[in-house]
Amino acid sequence: MDEKRCLEILDILNEGRLPEVEELAAFIDACAPAAFSGPVPEDAPAMEAEYLAGAGLENSSEGSPVRVPEDEEAGAVELRERLFALARERAQEHFGNRIYIRGLIEISNICRRNCRYCGIRADNARAERYRLSPSQILECCEHGYELGFRTFVLQGGEDGWFTDERLAGIVGSIKASWPDCAITLSVGERSEASYRLLRRAGADRFLLRHETADPVHYAKLHPAGQQWQNRMECLQRLKNYGYQTGAGFMVGSPWQTTECLVEDMRFLYRFRPEMVGIGPFIPHAETPFARFPSGNVERTLVMVALTRLLLPCAMLPSTTALGTAAGDGRERGILAGANVLMPNLSPKEARARYRLYNNKLSEGAECADHLAELKERIRAIGYEIVVDRGDFCLR
């Protein structure tokens, strides 16, 4: 795509409009030609065929894996900077220089699922499993409230111990103790009745990444028992019950093409989630994807910026994965349009065990106890962390 057309596409995006499929794909490639941080394994095609056969699918994608050039194409850096500048402008129009914080509490790393990319998958026999008790969760909230947090995010694997009744009881206790706080749940796919009960108990928001809007790609990332259609139905149910609903995806996951990313943007544009979590894929040593390269950081930032332009009011975290992939990843995410950070309130021993991917950050500025350090880092780039629930609202 030539420079003139790139700038025209940028104008379309800046107006909050979705370009045509082929043009958006070409624009993404022009901004960030590299998709991965290194070469894929030689046996990747055989793995892909095996996973699709297990799901009873054929590879229907017309796209091809994105090449990884030795050097970026001329103009990519300048084009990215133009995109990031527009995304910052859009975020500042709606939020000023305010960055909202959420206190992350990782309640369990026990999971019944076997997502192929995840370090806490059920088949990882080397994971050191744990589960926080209700009293431990409330202690985390109490500590977080004293630090200034007004949103608590209860995140965990799909742990059967947390029945609907138990989880609803925990949500109700948090609401009773800190009624001025918002509660976000991130506990996976549950039944319609479960989502309804938890909403009535006081849960305000629910994070459930869609992972990929391409059902064939979804089948490559998950075993056959996990269905893309069910994930989409769960997201719609959350919307129907009035949750501020969060979707999201990994950038650079195995077999992801630029066309996959375009489908992600088209899905977000239609679904209009209130929150979107986007981070680079980072492999975990005890998963089937251990030998795959991480996703490209620049391409991840491009997708954050595109999301900000298309969903200007959305809450966009600068994710832990970005901070893990790049030392200044949090700051770069904010400078690409993100407006949320999620420091970790979990007990230290839990933080060390909740390993979704290799080298996941859990200390330093990632830890809620080091909030002063995080505030200084964010202030250094011209933003301020605020004590606020940070609810979604159309502005």
- CB neighbour list of residue 221: distance below 8 Å, 6 or more residues apart: 115, 116, 117, 211, 212, 253, 254
Residue 261 burial (CB count, 10 A): 28
Q: Please state the length of the chain.
A: 395
The 3 state secondary structure assigned to 203-215 is: CCEEECCCECCCH
Closest by CA to 347, choosing from 127, 176, 138, is 138
| Residue-level pLDDT at 370 | 82
Q: Which of 20, 21, 29 has its CA nearest to residue 1? A: 29
- Is the per-residue pLDDT at 217 higher than 90? yes
Residue in this structure with the two tokens 């979990």, named with its chain if needed: 346
What pLDDT does 68 receive? Answer: 46
Is pLDDT at 107 greater than 70 in this prediction? yes
In this predicted structure, the answer to whether residue 65 has a pLDDT above a threshold of 60 is no
* Tens-place pLDDT, residues 256-273: 999 999 999 999 999 999
Q: How far apart are CA 172 and CA 110, in angstroms?
A: 23
The structure tokens 């609202």 sit at 393
Q: How confident is the model at residue 66 (pLDDT cuts 50, 70, 90)?
A: low
Average pLDDT over residues 16-28: 97
First and final C-alpha spacing in the chain: 34
- Give the chain's domains with CATH numbers: 3-386 (3.20.20.70)
List pLDDT tens digits, range 334-385.
Answer: 999 999 999 999 998 898 899 998 877 556 556 777 888 999 999 999 999 9
CB 183 within 8 A of CB 170: no
